[in-house]
Amino acid sequence: MLGAFATAILGMILISCAWLAVQRFCQRRFPAAGDGDDALSGRVGCKGCDCAPQRCDRE
């Protein structure tokens, strides 16, 4: 039983570290995305174009 608990805790730590790595990668890749802690929060509908949100050609 203690092994299953340790495996679950280790799994949660690994998932958290992986998400932290994704966040850090996105903050480096998209530095203008925002100053908050969540680098992906403002990128919901973006497809990588350089047009302004008010006149996006892809919509």
Instruction: Give the pTM.
Output: 0.56
| 6-59 tens-digit pLDDT | 999 999 999 999 999 998 888 888 776 555 666 666 655 555 666 665 666 555
Domain extent at residue 10: 1-34
8 lies in some domain: yes
Among 56, 50, 54, 58, smallest CA distance to 32 is for 50
What total of structural domains would you count in the chain? 1
- Going by C-beta distance under 8 Å and a sequence separation of 6 or more, which residues neighbour residue 26? 33, 39, 40, 43
44 lies in some domain: no
Which two structure tokens, joined as six digits, stand for 35?
A: 């100053």
Rounded (10°) CA dihedral 51, 54, 55, 59 = 90
The per-residue pLDDT for 45 is 59
9 lies in some domain: yes
